[in-house]
Structure 1
Amino acid sequence: MAIPGLGFACRPHVPLRIPLFPCVSKAIPSVNVRQHLVAAFDVVDEPEDVLKVDNDNHKSVSTEGDGKVPEWKKLNSKERGISTSKITRPTRKVLNVLRQKGYQVYLVGGCVRDLVLNRTPKDFDIITSAELKEVRRSFSWCEIVGKRFPICHVHIDDAIVEVSSFSTSASNFKRDLSSSEYGKPIDCEEKDYVRWRNCLQRDFTINGLMFDPYERIVYDYLGGMEDIKRAKVKTVIPPSTSFQEDCARILRAIRIAARLGFRISRETARFVKNLCGSVSGLDRGRLLMEMNYMLAYGSAEASLRLLWKFGLLEILLPIQAAYLVQNGFRRRDKRSNMLLSLFSNMDKLLAPDRPCHSSLCCMKLSPLWTNQA
């Protein structure tokens, strides 16, 4: 099935006769991702102590329950080699302004994961105890965007920093937290409860970390640090529920696994395969954005291999899927070919902080369209 209107996908002229591969019965092995050239990170000129920190050690907090839920952990970021020097200047300015006004501020999501891995984050997301209207009043150029999930775009130093609010996130959170599967301790502090509740809205456990750069604490309520250690992509809630809530998470699982060289957990992989057809319901803009994230940031070859392995390439790039079929390429094939070599060579020049324009990806794919037209 082709996505109507998708800029670089159309119906193949060669029918795809290879059936979808069987259900995943064991954990997906790590993808052999090529090591790419990564530009050295330009450290901002503020010293480390611009973000004042408390270096006291913090002990983990255990949850009540049957032992299956992860511990609540408060980890000393300095002991884990997380440097605040990787935080960009615009992000620092936003953090400092809100902090000086007395609000709680944290870095959340993929940027914390990348800092833990000593990688350069593609961007930084901030969450604060301030209301969005208070955030907007704190900066000369700030706008509230989004209707379903509103956030603030703070324009500073020719960059846009995204800021969300705990209160807005809580009002959009409809999940029943009374179930024991979420592992909420009986006597937890209010601040811990607010942070934990927000982390439950994340897509994957490795994106469910929260970092206070002033106190130098990484809050891990979902076992994200352990999954980073195991190089595993796993949904926060059961994958069947997670992917039905937002099927774009299927594409994000592929993208994260490809970019980091992680494997997708057994249960998550099973539902990536079983529910892959649901991504055809995403709007064209969302699909273009997700495909650009996969192909333009230095992990295009690994992304294409995973899309092919899980049966998503036929949906998103059917011409390229037909090319692999014609060349007898199997789902778990380790060989290369012209398509993969093109993107492998491009990957060597790119990195998350040094992407290419999306038009280059389209240009790379166009020769294959011409050959099969």
Structure 2
Amino acid sequence: MTVAQAQGITPTIITRDQHVISRAQISDKALSVLYRLKNAGYGAYLVGGGVRDLSLGREPKDFDVATDATPDEVKALFRNCRLIGRRFRLAHVHWGPEIIEVATFRALTPDADAAADHVVEDGLVLRDNVYGTIEEDALRRDFTINALYYNIADFSVVDYADGMADLRAGRLRLIGDPAVRYREDPVRMLRAVRFAAKLGFTIDPGTADPIPRMADSLDDIPPARLFDEVLKLFMAGQGVETFESLRRHGLFRYLFPASDTALDDDEFGQHITFVARALESTDQRVNNDRPVTPAFLFAALLWPAILSQLPGARLKPGIDPELFEQSVTEALERQLRQVAIPKRFAMPMREIWALQPRFHSASEKKARRLFSHPRYRAAYDFLLLRREAGLVDPELADVWQRYTESSEDAPPPTPARRRRRGGRRRGPAPDAGDG
């Protein structure tokens, strides 16, 4: 679509009496940004997830603003503003811990003079700092439900892509040709799965159909960026639904290739059960506002890849330590080529794995030593998940459960400090987020 065609589109204006968004629901800081932009003569709109979530009766995670002011003009208005980003230049207005992101309207089709600020390689957008109109900006957004603009000037919602109708229908639909949009940024395929799971929406067939045949384009995404996307996918409280959808659309194999192969070869469904139980536990913690750690999540998602290299695809008593370590190393090396895992998570993840064979062969003395390990609680929860999936002798797990719930010793709060013996300690209910 050309610029002229975009500017010829007539939006649907949803007046204040026709929608449910109220200024009382919007952050005071976001309102301050909107009003200051408006009073300076610029267009000022709340856009994206904030408008979407408020329209659905949900509490937004954050509030983003779109404007015709350039980043430098925004910075001139706010002393507490910082400009960030090279691929997408953005203004961040800081109000203590709260940050309001302000984006300038992006152009739809940049002209030749803007070539240095708009770089595309093999359909993938590498840089995009060419500014345009609100009409162009709306059509540049990914999904129709994210292209709704709340206008602070008259409190209306401006809808350029029938996003409000899709909201009401519970439908997730890309703006434009899905194949082209996925080629511009393959991560949009992951976003489609994530938003559908988060909102309980269905993915429009036209949006879903190209995904399986274009999923391999995720190989072009830097592993560090995919790490961030994996956290968004699995640590938002809908991990089980997300996992099933990723598998259904052929995306999981491009995030966890070795694990995906192991799941395909899982004759009795034990590996899938294990991953599902781990994700259920993570979902429960997230939805109960309890902390979760990526180390445990990645340990669970990669466990099938490790087991697949062991005899009988099981961790059995008496396993050769070198064979087990080799399986861990090979699974992790393959994974890191696809999704980067920072060392601060990779190290505790490896510790969780390394403690699993010790559950199978611990004498009373070794059991006490194992129980004092700083990563014991996470490793123990991991063992219980293995029991639920039928991947470990239930009697062995039962012994450790009784020991954990009745032991007079407790893991030290820090390596330099130990609890005094004598007090009877009962462990909390098993879950999948500690450690």
**Which of the five TM-score ranges fits, normalised by the shorter chain?**
0.5 to 0.7
User: Cα deviation per residue 1:283-316 (whole Å; 9 max; x = unaligned)?
Assistant: 1222111111111111111111111001111110
Evaluate the alpha carbon distance shift between residue 256 and residue 329 of structure 1 in structure 2; reply closer, same or farther with a 3 A threshold.
Answer: farther
3-state SS of the aligned residue for 2:158? strand
**Which sits farther off after the overlay, 305-314 or 147-156?**
147-156
Superposed counterparts of 1:72-151, under 5 Å? 72-151=11-90
Evaluate the alpha carbon distance shift between residue 285 and residue 354 of structure 1 in structure 2; reply closer, same or farther with a 3 A threshold.
Answer: farther
Aligned to 1:174: 110
Distance 2:134 2:234 in 1: 33
Distance 1:243 1:130 in 2: 28
Q: Structure 1 vs Structure 2: percent identity of aligned residues?
A: 31
Aligned to 1:164: 103
**Residue 71 of structure 1 contacts residue 222 of structure 1 at CA under 8 Å; is this kept in 2?**
no
Evaluate the alpha carbon distance shift between residue 355 and residue 279 of structure 1 in structure 2; reply closer, same or farther with a 3 A threshold.
Answer: farther
Distance 1:276 1:70 in 2: 32
**Which sits farther off after the overlay, 298-307 or 71-80?**
71-80
Q: Which amino acid counterpart does residue 157 of structure 2 have in structure 1? A: V
Distance 2:31 2:284 in 1: 30
3-state SS of the aligned residue for 2:243? helix
How far the C-alpha of 1:278 sits from its partner, in A, is: 0.3
User: Cα deviation per residue 1:38-77 (whole Å; 9 max; x = unaligned)?
Assistant: xxxxxxxxxxxxxxxxxxxxxxxxxxx9xxx997311124
- Alignment pair present for 1:321 and 2:257: no
- Alignment pair present for 1:365 and 2:301: yes
Evaluate the alpha carbon distance shift between residue 352 and residue 262 of structure 1 in structure 2; reply closer, same or farther with a 3 A threshold.
Answer: farther
Q: Compare CA radii of gyration and give the structure with the larger one.
A: 2
Distance 2:288 2:187 in 1: 20
**Residue 296 of structure 1 contacts residue 355 of structure 1 at CA under 8 Å; is this kept in 2?**
no
Distance 2:256 2:220 in 1: 15
Distance 1:120 1:141 in 2: 25
How far the C-alpha of 1:213 sits from its partner, in A, is: 3.8
Pick the aligned partner of 1:340 from 276, 298, 308. Answer: 276
Identify the structure with the greater helix proportion: 2
User: Cα deviation per residue 1:120-174 (whole Å; 9 max; x = unaligned)?
Assistant: 22222111122211211222232222223211112212122211113xx12x743
3-state SS of the aligned residue for 1:143? strand
Evaluate the alpha carbon distance shift between residue 249 and residue 297 of structure 1 in structure 2; reply closer, same or farther with a 3 A threshold.
Answer: same
How far the C-alpha of 1:252 sits from its partner, in A, is: 0.8
Superposed counterparts of 1:1-373, under 5 Å? 72-166=11-105, 169-170=106-107, 173-174=109-110, 194-328=133-267, 337-350=273-286, 356-365=292-301, 367-368=303-304, 370-372=306-308, 373=327
**Which sits farther off after the overlay, 349-358 or 308-317?**
349-358
Q: Which amino acid counterpart does residue 51 of structure 2 have in structure 1? A: V
**Which sits farther off after the overlay, 100-109 or 345-354?**
345-354
3-state SS of the aligned residue for 1:228? helix
3-state SS of the aligned residue for 1:348? helix
Structure 1 gaps of 5+ residues are: 1-64, 176-192, 331-335
3-state SS of the aligned residue for 2:285? coil
How far the C-alpha of 1:236 sits from its partner, in A, is: 0.4
Q: Which amino acid counterpart does residue 119 of structure 1 have in structure 2? A: R
The count of residues paired between Structure 1 and Structure 2 equals 282
Structure 2 gaps of 5+ residues are: 112-131, 309-326, 328-435
Q: Which amino acid counterpart does residue 297 of structure 1 have in structure 2? A: A
**Residue 298 of structure 1 contacts residue 352 of structure 1 at CA under 8 Å; is this kept in 2?**
no
User: Cα deviation per residue 1:314-344 (whole Å; 9 max; x = unaligned)?
Assistant: 11012432343243489xxxxx722112212
How far the C-alpha of 1:223 sits from its partner, in A, is: 0.8
Evaluate the alpha carbon distance shift between residue 352 and residue 103 of structure 1 in structure 2; reply closer, same or farther with a 3 A threshold.
Answer: farther
Q: TM-score, normalised by structure 1?
A: 0.68
Distance 1:101 1:155 in 2: 19
Distance 1:321 1:83 in 2: 45
How far the C-alpha of 1:82 sits from its partner, in A, is: 1.9
Aligned to 1:42: none
Q: Structure 1 stretches (4+) deviating beyond 6 angstroms?
A: 352-355
3-state SS of the aligned residue for 1:74? strand
**Residue 300 of structure 1 contacts residue 347 of structure 1 at CA under 8 Å; is this kept in 2?**
yes
Distance 1:77 1:161 in 2: 23
3-state SS of the aligned residue for 2:94? strand
3-state SS of the aligned residue for 1:164? strand
Q: TM-score, normalised by structure 2?
A: 0.59
Q: CA RMSD in A?
A: 3.0
How far the C-alpha of 1:242 sits from its partner, in A, is: 1.0
